[in-house]
Amino acid sequence: MITFDKLWVTMKEKGVSTYMLREKCGIDSKTVRRLRANENIETKTIEKLCAALDCDISDIMEYRKE
């Protein structure tokens, strides 16, 4: 299972809110809900997140065995 728990930690460390994410990289509220629920998102969204937060993929997501 892919989880985005690290995303929220990284956002907090960098002082970025979900509002800023939506405004800074064009991620809509539906996608934010999907991230919170650890649901599938497009790879272009992951790219946008990494660019907006200036981080690596491992800073926003991880794989956990179910």
Class of CATH domain 2-63? mainly alpha
Contact indicator for 61, 4 with CB cutoff of 8 Å: yes
Give the model's pLDDT for residue 66.
79
Listed in sequence order, the residues at least 6 apart from 34 whose beta carbon sits closer than 8 Å to its beta carbon are: 40, 41
Domain ranges of the chain: 2-63
pLDDT in tens, the chain (66 residues): 999 999 999 999 999 999 998 887 889 999 999 999 999 999 999 999 999 999 999 999 999 997
Give the model's pLDDT for residue 51.
92
